[in-house]
Structure 1
Amino acid sequence: MAVATFTADPDLTETETATTISYASATLDAQPALALAAFTVAAADTTSDLAEGVAGMAAGLLDLFIEQGATFAQSYTVIDDDAFTWDGWTAAAQIRSSASSAATLYLDLGPYLTVDGPTISLTIPATQTATLTKNGRWDLEMTLDDTVVRLLQGAVIVSPEVTR
């Protein structure tokens, strides 16, 4: 059984044991920077065992701080298992007014997600962040066949644009 550590930035990691799950959290500094605590998930070698292993983990908590009218880009990468890949998985994410399917959809992030090996990238163009006027909730789900995993979830905080 392999252990995969997920981080928003491969340079920001912390040592974890195979039995420990630390939830992701975002903080802003004087220069906006993401500090993401790593979390681990046990994953086996076969696709079905891998899907079950990933499905057994709790979603990491990661708030998105989006600057209205600016390009938003983050990547989420498995960094401690060279063999791990998201190949075959489908990524889906949305920003809504609250954590409810009946809540207002602010932005479907699907078109702005890419999956490449161990990395999931989210790049929202400035033309789309300009349409965001309210804070909300988001999550990132990965799907493989009948297995759906909520990988990340959290608040979306929109910083209003001043320069037009």
Structure 2
Amino acid sequence: MNLRPHRREPADINLTPLLDVVFLLLIFFMVSTTFKDEARLRVQLPEAQGESIPAQAPEMIRIVIDRAGRFYVNDQALVDEKPLTLTRALTGALGERRQMVPGDAQPPPVLIQADASTPHQAVITAMDAASQAGLNRIAFAATLPASAEAGQPDGAAP
């Protein structure tokens, strides 16, 4: 009769198969994942100490956004603030310009003039609508600081 306590050998857990499965899953997800390529707009950001717009500036499509987030395309108010309405207005303005300047292959630049208190969403909506209308050259209007306005005749920078 054996009265000694029976000691069990410690269980060996082999982690090699688990690591193999984890690495195979990692490789699978790395190979099969596609990264979303976000739509990018080429934006020319103005500097606060910029230069004035030259007298013979290229013909632009102007989007004005007031404090409440209402849109105006070439000084014409839109009926609502929906992105689809803005896209249609920009497409219409682009069509009018193409009729005035036939053979112009490059779309005109878009100038966004937003009030300082305009909600950020309204500016993003304007940029998105311009992109959907095929207008990818965007500029923002800014005013010069009060100290710099003394030297400039019109006080606006592109």
The structure whose residues are more often strand, as a share, is 1
Larger radius of gyration between Structure 1 and Structure 2: 2
Higher relative contact order (CA 8 A, sep 6+): 2
Q: TM-score, normalised by structure 2?
A: 0.25
TM-score (norm 1): 0.24
- Higher helix proportion (structure 1 or 2): 2
